[in-house]
């Protein structure tokens, strides 16, 4: 069993380590413990045999849920558990369920030491600089060191079904006929990952003048109002698909998209698994760590001296116009998009 009770982007990236396991041990059976909100990313996934969903709130103390989950894990008689999150709850679950081998990293998201590692039978030492190493490589390092194997894996996403393709077809029927379909993901999970609205509007307006393109925005339901604000500043109709897709629908969309312009978010890593041509804009986070694993991805960052950071937006020294976001200019992104679209035309 492997556990990754983390957000969507990280769950997608952990699958690169699972791909490495399957490559070396094809007969292994992998069950993944995840939160319900990301479960569709690993269900119907060719490298994952089963999924256990464990939903809880971070400050919730539900002994009943814990006992139920311990019984479920114990019932499956796992030989080995690997933690990709170093969280306390799954460490307790696997310990009390009696899994004989429990593996976890010395660090995974930050350099802080944790007593959670006391619950592991094997602690894998992560000695590289987290901020200068792709997060997927950190996950794979856990696997490589524990199993004493070599190689690299790429993230693997859930397979697209005919149901997903039908949903995408219905959405695309709302778009005008055009040579190019251009997707946009305009809102990050927090403000310092979110490129300015007016910058996105400028990119759309500029590209629409030179290319026969249909534009649409994708995102979660709570991104919809923000996306509408961006669309209001654009000189042409732009469809808002926020909240109208599952995460697997997104993969189906990206498979049929000519270009994705996005901030650093979970959808970025879903898109990367499809190979879509993409331009990704980074603010307070670093592409050294979060670069999409996609040969067709171009990334932009201003590499401010204060980045990467984890401060709140209002605590940023350059608030309300954070330099990490505002110094990645529309002209930079437009030039990259033109290079991609002109290559497609050629």
Same domain, 289 and 223: yes
Average pLDDT over residues 322-336: 98
Give the distance from CA 208 to its chain's centroid: 28
Angle between helix 197-210 and helix 330-345 axes, rounded to 10 deg: 30
Same domain (yes/no): 65, 108: yes
Indicate whether 156 belongs to any domain: no
pLDDT on residue 319: 95
Domain stop point among 147, 182, 204:
147
Domain ranges, residue 242: 162-345
> Rounded mean pLDDT of 184-206?
97
140 & 166 share domain: no
Q: Please check whether residues 175 and 320 belong to one and the same domain.
A: yes
Task: Tell me what pLDDT residue 63 has.
Answer: 82
DSSP state of 49: -
Alpha-carbon torsion, ordered 94, 95, 101, 104, to 10 deg: 70
Give tens-digit pLDDT for 199-211: 999 999 999 999 9
Q: Note whether 336 and 203 are within 8 A (CB).
A: no
**Of 147, 170, 199, which marks where a domain is finished?**
147
- The CA distance from 216 to 180, in Å, is 11
The count of C-alpha atoms lying within 13 angstroms of the C-alpha of 150, restricted to the half-sphere facing its C-beta, is 0
- Report residue 62's pLDDT band, with 50, 70 and 90 as the boundaries: confident
* Model pLDDT for residues 284-294, shown as the tens digit of each residue: 999 999 999 99
Same domain, 237 and 264: yes
Mean pLDDT of 308-312: 93
Q: Is residue 155 part of a domain?
A: no
pLDDT exceeding 90 applies to what percent of the chain?
95
Same domain, 223 and 77: no
One domain, residues 306 and 238: yes
Q: pLDDT class for 316, splitting at 50, 70, 90?
A: very high
pLDDT-based confidence at 281, cuts 50/70/90? very high
Count of structural domains within the chain: 2
Among 280, 277, 228, 235, residue whose Cα is nearest residue 257: 277
Tell me the CA distances in angstroms from 166 to 46, 181, 230, 243, 248, one per residue in order: 21, 17, 27, 16, 12
Same domain, 67 and 13: yes
Q: What is the mean pLDDT of residues 115-141?
A: 98
**What mean pLDDT do residues 155-184 have?**
98
pLDDT over 80 at 214, yes or no: yes
SS3 state of residue 300 = strand
Confidence at residue 230, expressed as pLDDT on a 0 to 100 scale: 97
- What φ, ψ does residue 340 adopt, rounded to 5°? -70, -50
Q: What are phi and psi of 3, to 5 degrees?
A: -125, 140
Region 298-320 average pLDDT: 95
What are the strands, taking DSSP E only, across the chain?
2-3, 31-34, 50-53, 80-83, 101-105, 122-124, 180-185, 213-217, 239-240, 259-263, 278-281, 297-300
- pLDDT tier for residue 185 given thresholds of 50, 70 and 90: very high
Return the pLDDT at 60. 65
Within a domain: 309: yes
58 pLDDT band, cuts 50/70/90, is: low
**Token output for 111:** 């350099």
The answer to whether 216 and 241 are in contact (CB under 8 A) is yes
Contact 297, 291 (CB under 8 A): yes
Domain assignment present for 152: no
Q: Verify that 110 and 39 share a domain, yes or no.
A: yes
Boundary of a domain, candidates 120, 147, 174: 147
Report whether pLDDT(302) > 90.
yes
Task: Report yes or no on 153 lying in a domain.
Answer: no
Q: Tell me what the pLDDT averaged over the chain comes to.
A: 96
Strand order in the sheet with 31-34: 50-53, 31-34, 2-3, 80-83, 101-105, 122-124
10 Å CB burial of residue 90 (0-12, 13-18, 19+) is buried
Q: Are 158 and 288 in contact (CB under 8 A)?
A: no
Say whether pLDDT at 239 is over 60.
yes
pLDDT mean over 59-88:
91
CATH number at residue 128: 3.40.50.2000
Instruction: Give the whole-angstrom CA distance, residue 163 versus residue 314.
Output: 43
């Amino acid at each position: 069993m492997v556990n990754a009770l983390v957000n969507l982007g990280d769950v997608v990236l952990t699958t690169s380590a699972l791909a490495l396991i399957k490559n070396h041990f094809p007969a292994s059976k992998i069950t993944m413990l995840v939160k319900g909100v990301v479960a569709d990313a690993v269900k119907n996934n060719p490298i994952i045999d089963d999924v256990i969903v464990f939903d809880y709130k971070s400050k919730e103390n539900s002994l009943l849920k814990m006992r139920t989950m311990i019984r479920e894990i114990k019932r499956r008689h796992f030989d080995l558990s690997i933690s990709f999150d170093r969280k306390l709850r799954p460490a307790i679950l696997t310990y009390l369920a009696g899994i004989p081998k429990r593996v976890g990293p010395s660090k995974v998201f930050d350099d802080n030491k944790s007593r959670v590692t006391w619950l592991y039978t094997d602690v894998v030492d992560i000695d590289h600089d987290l901020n200068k190493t792709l997060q997927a490589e950190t996950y794979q390092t856990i696997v490589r060191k524990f199993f004493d194997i070599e190689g690299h894996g790429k993230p693997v996403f859930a397979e697209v079904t005919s149901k997903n393709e039908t949903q995408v077809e219905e959405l695309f029927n709302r778009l005008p006929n055009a040579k190019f379909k251009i997707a946009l993901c305009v809102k990050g999970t927090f403000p310092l990952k979110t490129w300015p609205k007016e910058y996105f509007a400028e990119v759309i307006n500029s590209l629409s003048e030179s290319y026969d393109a249909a534009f649409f925005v994708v995102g979660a339901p709570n991104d919809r109002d923000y996306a509408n604000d961006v669309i209001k500043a654009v000189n042409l109709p732009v469809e808002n698909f926020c909240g109208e897709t599952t995460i697997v629908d997104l993969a189906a969309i990206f498979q049929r998209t000519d270009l994705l312009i996005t901030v650093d978010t979970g959808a970025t890593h879903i898109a990367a698994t499809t190979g879509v041509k993409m331009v990704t804009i980074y603010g307070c986070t670093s592409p050294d760590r979060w670069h999409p694993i996609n040969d067709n991805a171009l990334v932009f960052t201003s590499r401010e001296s204060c980045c990467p950071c984890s401060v709140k937006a209002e605590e940023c020294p350059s608030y309300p116009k954070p330099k990490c976001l505002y110094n990645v200019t529309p002209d930079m992104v437009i030039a990259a998009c033109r290079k991609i679209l002109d290559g497609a035309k050629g």
